[in-house]
Amino acid sequence: MTEPVEEALRRELERLPEEVRAHTERVLDEALRLAARHGVDASKVRPAVLGHDLLRVTPREELLRLAGEMGHEPNEAERAEPLLLHGRVAAALLRERFGVDDAEVLNAVRYHTTGRAGMSDVEKVVFLADKTEPDGLAHNPEWSEVRDLARDDLDAAMLRALELYLERARREGWTVHPDVVGAREYFERR
């Protein structure tokens, strides 16, 4: 049976561009596959995936404004690329408007772009599915290695994903978000 919150999130998704809806469905397929394989709670994975990109197409100035309203002072990386805030702001929306109070669901939404030290398996599944859904792999073929690792070992897949992200960030000159650095250190030690 579908939870009312999932129905409400699906209705909200219908207001978003087809691109975001199709991405969300592909992430859902991938995330539920990973959850089944690793014994992760699908009832947490589903609302997290349905909510993760609700603010993906919100203009950058609006994300900065909403984060400010939440009392969040953007860091250097978030000022350079306000899109980094879309997970944090979506998590707040899920809590305030959709009544989601499960910390794992909220953190999976909040950290789906950066990762963080101490991620739960729900968070790892959402992060990895977001990066390795088929269309994403078509654009970034090197991420198929991450998808293959994720079948057997979520932590190994996280480490490789973070390394690939950091290599790209170096090439492109991106300011790296501190949560990415924290996540890489965390998975290196595991």
Q: What is the nearest approach in angstroms of Fe ion to the Cβ of residue 23?
A: 8
Nearer to Fe ion, 1 or 46 (CB): 46
Q: Is 123 in the site for Fe ion (CB under 5 A)?
A: no
Nearer to Fe ion, 39 or 57 (CB): 57
Nearer to Fe ion, 4 or 60 (CB): 60
Using the rule CB under 5 A, which residue among 53, 121, 123, 179 binds Fe ion? 53
From residue 184, how far is each of 5, 15, 159 by CA, in Å? Answer: 32, 35, 6
> Considering only CA atoms, which of 49, 118, 144 is closest in space to residue 41?
49
The pair of three-digit structure tokens given for residue 7, joined into one six-digit string: 């129905």
Nearer to Fe ion, 48 or 149 (CB): 48
Q: What is the nearest approach in angstroms of Fe ion to the Cβ of residue 89?
A: 11
- For Fe ion, the nearest residue by Cβ is 53
Q: What is the nearest approach in angstroms of Fe ion to the Cβ of residue 189?
A: 26
Q: What is the nearest approach in angstroms of Fe ion to the Cβ of residue 70?
A: 17
Of the candidate spans 52-60, 68-76, 142-150, 164-172, the one that interacts with Fe ion by CB under 5 A turns out to be: 52-60
The pair of three-digit structure tokens given for residue 127, joined into one six-digit string: 């992060």
Nearer to Fe ion, 121 or 130 (CB): 130
Q: What is the nearest approach in angstroms of Fe ion to the Cβ of residue 8?
A: 19
Alpha-carbon distance 181 to 179, whole Å? 5
What is the footprint of Fe ion within residues 80-119 (CB under 5 A)?
Answer: none
Please report, as ranges, the residues that interact with Fe ion according to CB under 5 A.
53
